[in-house]
Each structure stands twice: as C-alpha cells, then as structure tokens.
Amino acid sequence: MSGENDRPENPTDDDTAEASGETPDAQTPPAELPAADIVERVYTQPELEAAVTAAAEESKDRYLRLAAEYDNFRRRVQREKEQYSAEAIERFAADLLAVLDDFDRALAAKPDSADAVVLGIRLTDKKLRAMLSRHGIECVDPAGQKFDPKFHEAVQRVPPGDKAPGTVVAVFEKGYTLKGRLLRPARVQVAGDN
C-alpha cells in the first residue's frame, strides 16, 4: 500500500495545505488579473468638460459660502465690539452722574453767590455738562412737565394745589439719557388726584 492510503478519508486544512506544498501559516497571494481584464477609462471631450464644469461650480459654491460666512463673522464681531463699547461708555457715564448731582447740590446751596469757589464750581459744572452733551449725554429736567414713566420715577405724590394732576411738582434728582437711551430716570414729586 502506498502512503496515500495511510491518510484519513476527510482531509483537514492542514492536509490540503501539505498537499499543495504550502505551510498552514502561509498566505495565498492575491490572484493577478489578466491584462485583458484591466481596462483604462477613456473620457470623451463632453464628459471632461462636464466634469470640469461641475468641479468649478462646486468650488465657486464653496467659495461663496465661505465668503458669506466670513462676512457674517466680521459683522457679528463689529456689532459685539460696538455693543461692548456702548456698555463701557454707559457704565462710565452712570458713574459721572453722582458728580453732576454734587455740582447741583453745591450750586443750590449758594445760588447767587459771587464767591470765587462758587464761580469755579459753576464753570466746572458748565464745562462738564458741555463735554457730556457732545458725547450724547443729555439732562432730563421735567420740572412743570407732565409725568412720563419712561423718563421719570415718582418718589412722592402730593396734593395737586394749583398744578394739574400728573404734573411734576419738584425734581429731587435730574435724569439723564445717553443717545436717547435712559441712563437714569429723574426722581420726581408728582401732583396727585384730589
């Protein structure tokens, strides 16, 4: 009997690998395609033009989207910068209002004095108010006007007397606006109903 008969009838993977002359761990190389199966794609002129046109349109679309995105970013940064600047000016102006109130109180203590100190305070007050006015800060002095809750804060109600109901009788603190926006409402005394 030959050596082939010594093997079992159902060969295992190891047996088939030995029969083919390979070891079980060896990889089989990929089968190479015959040269007749490799086909090189040849494009026609209209196909090339269509492909180039599509690529150009895609690039143009991408460019326009990026340009629009950058423009939106630039506008947003500019808007935020203006907002931060306006908020900083508003905080600074609000801090200056206490100084203006002090000038008003000092001048109210000696309104007709020709003293050098009072004249100096009056001149400084005038210059400070002119500078603030140039930057859009305006005084709201509602004495004798109709009460407006947008610009006035009623601190006290008094009997109307000779004033019409809802009229500002006295101003405790003047109000101020910055470019039309309220910085601080005027604190006022209002004539009430009978």
Averaged pLDDT for residues 142-150: 88
CA 118 to chain centre: 47
Q: What are the tokens at 149? A: 């809750």
Has residue 83 got a pLDDT over 80? yes
C-alpha–C-alpha distance, residues 84 and 24, integer Å: 75
User: Domains of the chain by range and CATH?
Assistant: 137-194 (2.30.22.10)
C-alpha–C-alpha distance, residues 51 and 45, integer Å: 10
Has residue 64 got a pLDDT over 90? yes
- Tokens 């939106």 identify what position? 72
| 186: β partners | 152
Cα–Cα nearest to 147, from 121, 186, 117, 176: 186
Has residue 138 got a pLDDT over 70? yes
Averaged pLDDT for residues 130-157: 89
How do residues 9-24 score in pLDDT, each as one tens digit? 555 555 554 555 555 5
Has residue 118 got a pLDDT over 90? no
pLDDT class of 135 with cuts at 50, 70, 90: confident
Averaged pLDDT for residues 61-67: 96
C-alpha–C-alpha distance, residues 69 and 75, integer Å: 10
- Per DSSP, 181 falls in state E
**Cα-only R_g, the chain:** 45
Has residue 61 got a pLDDT over 60? yes
Give the number of residues written for the chain: 194
Q: What are the tokens at 42? A: 């040849």
Q: What are the tokens at 126? A: 């005038």
